[in-house]
Amino acid sequence: MSEIKVNSIKGAAASTAAITVHNTDGTATGKFTNLPGRNIVINGSMNVAQRGTSSTTSGCNSVDRWQNQHGNTDEAPTQAQIALTSSDTGPWEKGFRYALQTTNGNQTGGAGAGDYIESHYRVEAQDMANSGWNYNSASSKITLSFWVKSSVAQTFYGYLYTADSTAQQYPFSLGSLSANTWTKVTKTIPGHANITINNDTGEGLRIAIVPFYGTTYTASGVTLDAWGAYGSGAECCPDNTSTWYTTNDATFAITGVQLEVGDTATDFEHKSYAEELFRCQRYYYKLKNDSGSTSSHWYGGGFVDTTTQLRGGIVLPQHMRSAPTSFETTGTAGDYAVWHSGNSTTTCSAVPSWASTSSSSGRLTFTVASGLTAGQGGSYRALTTNSYLAWSAEL
Amino acid sequence: MRFKKIAKEDAGDTQWYFQIEDDGSSKVQCSGDYPPFKEWVDEGNTAEAAD
């Protein structure tokens, strides 16, 4: 038997060791680029879009967990989950098949001071607090990496933001992007003594990527790549070039967003759709009639409480971040029905309602005009292919 | 956009609201913790009474 005794193993041209062998305790520390559980960002590959694939409404309305916010625009931008093709050189070869794309509206009034379009992701505070990042130490690092493409050649900015205690920001540049060319952006970010991240279910860290901010939200003297107090004027990044914003239908896309503890951007941690969907469902859960049949979808069962109401409990698939703060329907009562005694289906006269909710369950009520028999059982039924119910506990 | 109280089915229920869009449509019901509702209230608005 032979034995090799070394202190470290390093690549021939590397400046640091890939594996450090501890001298006395029989252990080693390695810098591996494919260990599971590295990516703090959920749905960084933009695969999951429960709400739909396209929307012009500000907020979290297409790709799960990603908020596309806009304000003071002359024409609302469109946020969309777009499918990549083999022409998307860069992310395609790395295994990405979707991106979150913002398509600008026609900003006929030019770049106003209060105008803004941004995409951002909010990390749940306890996921940051328990990540292993010593966020109060400048020698402890996190690394953010992502792919970005703009249809307009320009320098863009982004920033990290922490909300707890005195809010802090870390502005950074995405660099000068070439038009219609995917670029990999990597930022390694140190901790700072002024950062506070509570160990709770609130917002812990925000990753903001900015197609355009008007001058209300920028300042010429903003220092890049450094933590500082979030300004009362919310100057989150240097003054933006407005070329992208004043170009009708300009596009800006991101994918492959990874935030990990350490000073190295490792390979993106791809997950199965099922795993990513389950992680997203902590924040948003949608039951939809995807049967292809108008009525072959059931939301569950309950009891007939009165001649007009079917009521019952619904158990959510996991503990959501909090009790849902919103409950969504199609807004059309006729998309829903009650199935009850005698194989009868009665169309709802009001949209379903939700009450008495916790983070994992609540009470669902379907209301009809008449015809139910109190004390009997019944089922919540879809009546159109549009029918859905959804619960949101998004940050 | 405006908000309107939803009549409680049970006395112990917390208050929920309809979010009503400018065109009169309503797809969202929410609690008082719903961020857009909180922002709307912070702007000085008050929810309408339930039917």
**What is the nearest CA distance from B7 to chain A, expressed in angstroms?**
10
A5-51: per-residue pLDDT in tens? 999 999 999 988 999 999 999 899 888 877 888 999 999 999 999 99
Distance CA(B11)–CA(A386), nearest Å, equals 33
Would you mind telling me the total number of residues written for chain A in this entry? 395
Question: What is the pLDDT averaged over residues A165-169?
Answer: 95
Q: What are phi and psi of A336, to 5 degrees?
A: -135, 155
Q: Are A56 and A77 in contact (CB under 8 A)?
A: yes
- Selecting from B12, B14, B29 the residue whose C-beta is nearest the C-beta of A326 gives B29
Element of type H or E holding A142: strand A141-150
Contact B9 A322 (CB under 8 A): no
- The 10s digit of each residue's pLDDT in A312-359 is 999 999 999 999 999 999 999 999 999 999 999 999 999 999 998 999
ipTM: 0.96
Given A322, A326, A363, which is nearest B28 (Cβ)? A326
pTM of the model: 0.93
CB contact under 8 A, A59 and B30: no
pLDDT at A296: 87
Determine the residue type at A185: V
Given a cut of 80, whether residue A118 has pLDDT beyond it is yes
In this predicted structure, the answer to whether residue B9 has a pLDDT above a threshold of 90 is no
- Identity of the residue in B6, B13, B25 whose CB atom sits nearest the CB atom of A356: B13
Question: Any bridge partners for residue A363, and if so which?
Answer: A313, A355
| Residue with the two structure tokens 């961020």 | B35
The verdict on a CB contact (< 8 Å) between B13 and A322 is no
Strand pairing partners for A141? A190
Q: Report the residue of chain A nearest B13, measured CA to CA.
A: A356
Measured in Å, how far apart are chain A's first and last C-alpha atoms?
Answer: 58
Residue A277's φ and ψ, nearest 5 degrees, are: -60, -45
Torsion of CA A102, A106, A111, A117, to 10 degrees: -20
Look up residue A157 and give its two tokens. Answer: 């900015």
Return d(Cα A174, Cα A240) in angstroms, integer.
12
Q: Do B30 and A355 touch (CB under 8 A)?
A: no
- Is B33 in Cβ contact with A330 (below 8 Å)? no
**Torsions phi, psi for A237 (to 5 deg):** -160, 165
Distance from C-alpha of A209 to C-alpha of A157, rounded to nearest angstrom: 6
> Is A329's CB within 8 Å of B29's CB?
yes
3-state helix, strand, coil in chain B (%, to 5): 15, 25, 55
Average pLDDT score over chain A? 95
pLDDT in tens, A183-213: 999 999 999 999 999 999 999 999 999 999 9
